[in-house]
Amino acid sequence: MTVALAFGRTSTTDDVLDGVDLKGKRVLVTGVSAGLGVETARVLAAHGAEVTGTARDLAKAERATAEARAEATRGGGSITITELDLASLKSVRACADKLLADARPFDVVIANAGVMRTPFWHTEDGFEIQFGTNHIGHFAFVNRIAPLIASGGRLVNVSSAGHRYSDVDLDDPNFEHMPYEPMIAYGRSKTANILFAVEFDRRHKSRGVRATAIHPGGIRTELARHIEPHEIEKMLEQINAQQANLGRPPFQWKTIPQGAATSVWAAFVAPADDVGAKYCEDCHVAAINEGEMDILSGGVRRYALDPERAKALWANSEDWIGERF
């Protein structure tokens, strides 16, 4: 058994990085104003990394990372925060230009920020908000700063088991011709995160840069702020009824350190060739699962790893934002 296989569902970020020295490493993490982003930045900096975090609300991010920044100082690392609103291509381009002007390379980029199950509205540039924020914003941002990812570096896209709700819709990404369904929209955006990693990996692996996508697991974070509490309870009842029928124990939430573990595992612990162009969960590479919708059974839909689908999404995304990479 390799070290990369020694972790699982209950492993935490500290478990995964135990004994790992990240001094001299530079990491960019999007979405460091709450939840997984804060924990990811915390543990990386605590192990000596220089972390650049991004957030739409700088004041909120400064408050959220105050304790983590103090811990980072003790561990020889650091956390700095820069403004990035993924729902605005103007903001995306400004942030990318700032980083490019600074010209310091990154060893890892973790595309962590996102929104989930929102009401129907649009980004500043007219994209459905979940697809526009989770995919389009990251697609434009990461591609613009791709020259800064050093050889031997990695891109980690935080996706979700929610990708199993829907493949991407290349003809109607903004629900102009079909009724809006929040979870279908979320599923499309999370499938897009995986497909983006697949094509980014193909384009950059020749220079030693690999890309992967991960599912953090079920965690109570601000991501679910658009879901009413009674909806969550109803969802849990349905999940646990299904679990009982399958002879499985009841669902248990992951802690935030457990949820962020797969991100840092894929970024610094797992062999690059194992995770490149793959989808990971619970600190391992997931298998294809084409069974009925059962979020807790794990696995990845085949369509989310389809290389031709990934190429098509890339081409369409370039057309949608008017840039070529």
- Full DSSP string of 194-245: HHHHHHHHHHHGGGT-EEEEEE--SB-SGGGTTS-HHHHHHHHHHHHHHHHH
Compute the distance between CA of residue 213 and CA of residue 208 in angstroms, rounded to an integer: 17
Instruction: Please list the alpha-helical segments (H only) found in 25-156.
Output: 35-46, 58-64, 66-75, 89-102, 129-131, 138-145
Put residue 171 in one of left, alpha, beta given phi > 0 → left and psi -120 to 50 → alpha. alpha
Both structure tokens of 204: 């950059």
CB 185 within 8 A of CB 162: no
Beta strands 279-281 and 106-111 are unpaired
Element (H, E) at 14: helix 13-16
Burial group, residue 74, by CB count within 10 angstroms (0-12, 13-18, 19+): exposed
180 annotated active-site: no
Both structure tokens of 5: 């296989």
**Please, what is the Cα angle at 232 between 223 and 298, to 5 degrees?**
75
> Looking at 180, 186, 279, 303, which residue is catalytic?
186
Q: Which residues are catalytic?
A: 186
